[in-house]
Structure 1
Amino acid sequence: MKLLTKLADQYRQDPLRALALNAMAAQTPLNERSVQTLRATSPEKVIEFAKRNEIGPIIAKAILDHPACDDLAGRDLWQEIYDASHRRMTILMDTLDRVANKFAEADIPLVGLKNAGIARGIYPDPAACPMGDLDVLIPRKPFLEAHALLLEMGFVLETRSTVEPAELQAAFEGGGTEYRKEVDGETVWFELQWRPVAGRWIRAEQEPSGDDLIADAVTIEDSNVLLLEPTANLLQVSLHTAKHTYVRAPGLRLHTDVDRIVAYADPDWEKFVAWVKRIEVITAVYFSLALSKALLGTDIPDWVLRELQPPRWKRELIARWLQKADIFEPNEKKFNRAEMIGFHTLLYDDAAGFTASVFDTDKDHLTLQELPQNLRRGASRVADLLTRYDSN
């Protein structure tokens, strides 16, 4: 944690980065230094920085909410950024509700994942929840029926992946499908998932059961959209942040997910820690929590971080790697393919877990008797990672 705190302090030496971290914190208004930075810097420079880091509406809201910024030069430009986000998010939330209503008629529950759920049922201002798509979780059994309903609503099966085709069966087997629809001038990407994480690096027995998460989901007033219960929600976004290696697009903005769920949803920390240990994702989750605390001041109990901290050598190595990659500038290339594999290797809690992942199996099947079968699966998996994995 000390190394990550030091990293965050280094970021704060840059006035614009300090402003960004201040504005992103869920329940912290702009401080005096941030206001001074805004007054001393041209609006165009700050806006360009905010857009480059995909946090324009978040900074805009912080500015518009602060009385000391009422006469700020360029305030009208920030108002335009906020209004544009408000319009887009209104369209996205309306689309989410329409799909949930359609699915409810067919008795298919729908859970809003990540920013979709945070914007719809947790954070008080959806306009300050910029997002590129709507991610939802449904049960696996009615997945093909849900696919047909989306096509009926005018969605088109597509993909933004540079390595995965827009092919229904392959996408379904991988955990989910992507769709696109134009709505009132906005492009809406919709991700339909039956796997809550769908990471290429997480083993099947580690990933929480989507059907179990849906069974425990909580309702949102006046909506058919469901939310993961707070503890499960925190676990899901923590694993999602790790899936993006904490720095890849949308990068910096990822860390608001943990911050906002902790601030507004009140997870059960004892249950959370026990769950993380049981499914052996200690290292991956630790860095999601520790980065949120270091960067945004998230109120994560110290005892939780102590319980989950990996060995010192691993903390130091990952922290240095993150410093090199830079949590800002999400659209810059952070890793080459070999570095991506190396970084994810460090996120496994032990060697057996890593070996099981390489062989595309679970720990119980790492036996001499099953070695030939494991080697065949492992060769296929390694070839897939080396030839098709997109590290951008």
Structure 2
Amino acid sequence: MSDSTHALLLLDLIAVERPIDVDRYATLDESAWDDLTRMARQHRLEPLLGQRLVQDPDCFPDPVAARLVERRRAQAVAGLRAAAELERLRALFSEVGIVFAALKGAYLGRAAYPRPELRPLRDIDILVPRNSAVEAWRLLEAKGYGQIELSQGSPESALDFLHQMPPARSPATGMAVEVHFRLFHDRERGDGYEPSEDPAFWERLVRLGEPGRAIAYPSPTDTLLHLIEHAAYGHGFDNGPLLLSDIAWLVRSGAIDWTLFWSLADRAHCRHGALLSFALTRRYWPSVVVPEPESGPGSSSVPSALIDATALIMLQDASQRKDLKLSLQTRLRRRSGNLSSFVLGRLFPSRLEMANMYPVDPRSPRMPLFYARRLWEIGTRRRPTLIGRSRTRKEQSSSHADLAIVDHMLAVHDWLERHDGAVAAH
């Protein structure tokens, strides 16, 4: 059975309302189940597999079932840790009057999913107004939140290029906390539209919890738009299939203002990303009802082949994600004739961009040392990709599968770009 077949079976397994033909899993051997559970672990899908186990206990071999039960217990404990971290952040920011809203999984697990442990949190994402972002990050730093080593840039430089401050590690819970000052990755999307710069966005916040200790979240409508922009345009759908269950249970909550949603999606040039996301969600959660836009392109404009391609993109090997993105970027730049400038830009980013990557001021005379460090890191970390080597048959097969994934990524990119305007290949 191929990796793509495993991926599609995994999507069926996590779509808990759909029955599965016994023949699709009854013949799987230990190696195939290892592949499936590895993909599930990479993409944080084990709690959803646990939900399938509850409904269909004969679906999994005993060792896999035992692991899923254990992972469900562990996720319930992790959820308590995340709730404690959110309360800690609420207390810290309320002391100094910084307004914030908790994003995505923090809201979905509490307000949309049947049980919080079904929606795992990798980290805590919060949104603050742009003019409070550096102050919020410095407050965390003063309270013992340590900057995560893989993100070494300064918070001040992040304002110029990124959508968030450098991630920080909580001294109390060990969770990573990301302070966002933008919802959208792409600064050019929708002619520069950014939802958090609209006062109406903040007026629509919802608050959950006891009076005086309630946590604020973007409204369900704004959360839905954020999920789609983040997945379709920020990540090209390579951030995993949790998007599908997120959409399914958020839509089922009945709290979406659909007139407002389609208006915001058009303003943000996100209509086709939404149509593709909804089409894929309905394939696996067919009972989910999404009202069509009142005018213009609707669900019928999404080609079936594109839905197939997006499903496979979602379950690509997470360990290969950076290489696949680089391959996509290279193909796009080669096609447009600016590959040389792209390569030079990666080797020698601007001083401001370097300040986002390394602990150095953009005006520092030490900057050449950090350019040398970057060249050394690229040479050592990317060497297997940049320098040809003999490959085993299994590696060659994996390489062919990776090329197919890049083909799918390019097809989705081109379709979104054609309909929604320039889409950056992040």
What TM-score results when the alignment is normalised by the length of structure 2? 0.66
CA distance in 1, matches of 2:250, 2:37: 27
Give how far 1:93 is off.
Answer: 2.2
Contact kept, 8 Å, 1:178 with 1:191, in 2: the verdict is yes
Contact kept, 8 Å, 1:136 with 1:193, in 2: the verdict is yes
C-alpha change, 1:308 and 1:90, in structure 2 (3 Å) is: farther
The counterpart of 1:194, out of the listed 154, 157, 181, is 181
Contact kept, 8 Å, 2:208 with 2:215, in 1: the verdict is yes
Give how far 1:177 is off.
Answer: 0.6
CA distance in 2, matches of 1:39, 1:218: 47
CA distance in 1, matches of 2:45, 2:177: 21
CA distance in 2, matches of 1:154, 1:263: 40
Match of 2:74 in 1: 84
Q: SS at the partner of 1:303?
A: coil
CA distance in 1, matches of 2:110, 2:166: 20
Match of 1:283 in 2: 272
1:266-311: per-residue Cα shift (whole Å, max 9, x none)? 2021221222223332222222222222233361336349844499
The counterpart of 1:97, out of the listed 77, 87, 90, is 87
CA distance in 1, matches of 2:22, 2:165: 41
CA distance in 2, matches of 1:304, 1:136: 30
Aligned amino acid, residue 46 of structure 2? G
Match of 2:288 in 1: 299
Contact kept, 8 Å, 2:144 with 2:171, in 1: the verdict is no
Match of 1:229 in 2: 219
CA distance in 1, matches of 2:59, 2:13: 16
Instruction: Give 1:331-346 correspondences, 5 Å limit.
Output: 331=318, 332-333=320-321, 334-335=324-325, 336=327, 337-339=329-331, 344=413, 346=415
1:325-362: per-residue Cα shift (whole Å, max 9, x none)? 633224134442134676546424669x53xx8xxxxx
Contact kept, 8 Å, 1:103 with 1:109, in 2: the verdict is yes
1:2-26: per-residue Cα shift (whole Å, max 9, x none)? xxxxxxxxx9994x5455334433x
Contact kept, 8 Å, 2:169 with 2:175, in 1: the verdict is yes
Instruction: Give 1:304-315 correspondences, 5 Å limit.
Output: 304=293, 307-309=296-298, 315=302
CA distance in 2, matches of 1:38, 1:87: 32
CA RMSD of aligned residues (A): 3.8
Contact kept, 8 Å, 2:258 with 2:291, in 1: the verdict is no
Q: SS at the partner of 1:119?
A: helix
Give how far 1:70 is off.
Answer: 11
CA distance in 2, matches of 1:31, 1:316: 25
Contact kept, 8 Å, 1:259 with 1:292, in 2: the verdict is yes
CA distance in 2, matches of 1:81, 1:39: 24
Give how far 1:320 is off.
Answer: 7.8
What TM-score results when the alignment is normalised by the length of structure 1? 0.71
Alignment pair present for 1:215 and 2:207: no
- Structure 2: which 5+ runs fail to align? 334-409
Alignment pair present for 1:241 and 2:237: no
Alignment pair present for 1:347 and 2:347: no
CA distance in 1, matches of 2:27, 2:69: 16
C-alpha change, 1:46 and 1:71, in structure 2 (3 Å) is: closer
Aligned length: 336
The counterpart of 2:249, out of the listed 225, 247, 260, is 260
Q: SS at the partner of 1:190?
A: strand
Q: SS at the partner of 1:31?
A: coil
CA distance in 2, matches of 1:41, 1:240: 36
Percent identical residues:
18
Contact kept, 8 Å, 2:189 with 2:269, in 1: the verdict is no
Aligned amino acid, residue 115 of structure 2? D
Aligned amino acid, residue 78 of structure 1? L
CA distance in 2, matches of 1:76, 1:194: 41
Q: Which range moves more in the overlay, 38-47 or 204-213?
A: 38-47
Q: SS at the partner of 1:197?
A: coil
CA distance in 2, matches of 1:264, 1:120: 11
CA distance in 1, matches of 2:86, 2:60: 37
CA distance in 2, matches of 1:268, 1:209: 18
CA distance in 1, matches of 2:193, 2:299: 17
CA distance in 2, matches of 1:321, 1:18: 9
Q: SS at the partner of 1:226?
A: strand
CA distance in 2, matches of 1:305, 1:89: 39
Match of 2:143 in 1: 153
Aligned amino acid, residue 155 of structure 2? L
Contact kept, 8 Å, 1:230 with 1:265, in 2: the verdict is no
C-alpha change, 1:327 and 1:141, in structure 2 (3 Å) is: closer
C-alpha change, 1:252 and 1:330, in structure 2 (3 Å) is: farther
Give how far 1:95 is off.
Answer: 0.6
Alignment pair present for 1:274 and 2:263: yes
Q: SS at the partner of 2:195?
A: coil
CA distance in 1, matches of 2:60, 2:307: 41
Alignment pair present for 1:126 and 2:116: yes
Match of 1:368 in 2: none
CA distance in 2, matches of 1:338, 1:305: 39
C-alpha change, 1:40 and 1:224, in structure 2 (3 Å) is: same
CA distance in 1, matches of 2:85, 2:23: 36
Give how far 1:60 is off.
Answer: 1.9
Contact kept, 8 Å, 2:251 with 2:290, in 1: the verdict is no
CA distance in 1, matches of 2:189, 2:269: 10
